Amino acid sequence: MRNQVADTVTWIKGKHTLKFGGDYSHVNDDTANLRFQYGGFSYSSLLNYFSDLYKPNTCGTKTAPAPCYSSYTQAFGPLGANFATNDLAFFAEDQFKVTPRLTLDLGLRYEYEMLPDPYLVNSLAPQTADRPADKNNWGPRVGFAYDVFGDGSTSLRGGWGLYYGRIINSTIYNALLNTGVAAGQLQYNFTATQGGPIFPQVINPATPPTGTIKPAIVYFDQNFQAPGIQQIDLILERQLGWNTTLSFSYLGSMGRHLPNFVDTNLTATPKTITYAVIDPNHKGPITAPTITGLLYNSRPNANFGAMTDIFSGVNSSYNAFAVQLNHNMSHYVQFSANYTWAHALDFGQNESTFTDTNDLLSPSCLKCEYGDSSFDVRQRFTGSAVIDSWWNVKGWAGYLANGWELAPIFAAQTGLPYSLITSGSAPGGASGAINGSGGATRLFETGRNTYRYPNTYVLVLRLSKNC
């Protein structure tokens, strides 16, 4: 349930148009979500899944058979919780008509999100009491519009602003309840050799695991900051006549303090791992390279399994240059065409709505995540048109011949990036995945998002008639 109060006042004084406003939002969140309440098996391949489905315990060795899944997760405890968040914001803006040809926009906005106090603090993990209190979220904005020649035919517009996002309530929910205390939600992660259930069985919810398997916890980093983004644009637009405009644009977006998740309860030792490379044009492996890397194989804090730190260390950048040609409807024709070249880079933006256990390939190396963004579309072209029938047939034949409209749309873009990944889990790891960290499954040697899907081309033709 949301209760919100907002108000804006506008005051026009000479060449100034002043705006002031504020916003207060109180959200009472009643969430019922015990993730993995009924257990979840994770498989690295369909072959392993069908092996467990057909005949469980066929992996491992002859003397120590094991299930074929990579990991198993199940949670126990209360189904949900009720908590409240409060968002406070206020702003001031001045639109200043400096000259008849130049207009400036100056603004400043402040935002603050108040999180609920912790109530399931674990004395064995004091960090579960931490909550972000980011009170320095001042967002200045500046923009301008300039009539270059004074005749309204050419304009130059630009702006820059700093904006802040919310810490989503689902992440807050996990940090409130997943603290490893008996009254909260307890989540346990097993590898196939750590005594997990045999597929498709699950653990009895009335008897949570005890012994060597410890619950996982989630907590906010002590230095967590609200996510922010700087946005920049600069546009030169020219009227060409015949209802046609041509524009050149630069667009920039720099994300800062974006959230991500890392398991901090891991230690590593050097380990030589052998990889069997499969050639899709042949049957079976064709080579078996060996790479010496770190294997995360132990938990330094024996009281817990995974200890997920919600941190805000991910940055991103997006730079784009665009050319656009628009023709408004005249002489029965309307068309638009634009081309964009862009490049997006980041340290691994997170798309989770709740929390992940670990999203980094190496929990101690954030810079190893740097690469092309998963959203990086390097080049894109779109063109569209609307063509009306220009003839006007008289008489009964006009019902068939008149009122037709053709509207083609064409789009082409370069392929999205992807990473070369591996299947299976390194033996002896504290968790699953290639190095026992339960994180990314790619190789250090190939990097992140170093491969590209094929280019895509889409053509849509619509023919309609006005009856």
pLDDT along the chain (467 residues), means of 10: 94 95 94 86 86 84 82 88 94 96 97 94 95 94 96 96 94 93 88 80 83 88 95 97 95 96 93 67 56 84 94 96 95 95 95 88 92 96 95 86 94 95 79 86 86 96 90
Element (H, E) at 46: helix 46-54
Structure tokens at 8: 């804006």
Q: How far apart are CA 89 and CA 112, in angstroms?
A: 6
Q: Quick one: which of 381, 382, 459, 456 has its CA closest to 416?
A: 456
Task: Give the global pTM.
Answer: 0.87
The answer to whether the CB of 371 falls within 8 A of the CB of 433 is: no
Task: Give me the pLDDT at residue 292, please.
Answer: 67
Q: State how far Cα 20 lies from the chain centre.
A: 32
Number of neighbouring beta carbons within 10 Å of residue 9: 9
Class of domain 2-269+295-423+439-465: mainly beta
Structure tokens at 193: 């050799």
Any idea which residue has 């603090």 for tokens? 121
Burial, 347: exposed, middle or buried (Cβ in 10 Å; 0-12, 13-18, 19+)?
buried
- Dist CA 430 CA 299 (whole Å): 7
Q: Is 302 helix (H, G, I), strand (E, B) or coil?
A: coil
- For the chain, the first-to-last Cα distance in angstroms comes to 47
113 CB-contact burial (10 Å; exposed 0-12 / middle 13-18 / buried 19+): buried
**Rounded-to-integer distance, Cα 430 and Cα 440, Å:** 14
The whole-angstrom separation of Cα 363 and Cα 356 is 13
Cα(140)–Cα(122) distance, rounded to whole angstroms?
Answer: 39
Residue with tokens 């997920």: 308
What pLDDT is recorded for position 288?
54
Beta carbons within 8 Å of 186's beta carbon, 6+ residues apart: 75, 76, 77, 178, 180, 208, 215
Q: Is 9 helix (H, G, I), strand (E, B) or coil?
A: strand
Q: Is the dihedral of CA 302, 303, 305, 309 positive or negative?
A: negative
Structure tokens at 163: 């904006």
Gyration radius (Cα) of the chain, Å: 29
Cα separation values, 176 from 25, 146, 197, Å: 21, 51, 28
CA distances from residue 376 to 315, 319, 320 in whole angstroms, order as listed: 15, 10, 11
Q: What angle do CA 204, 209, 210 make, to 5 degrees?
A: 145
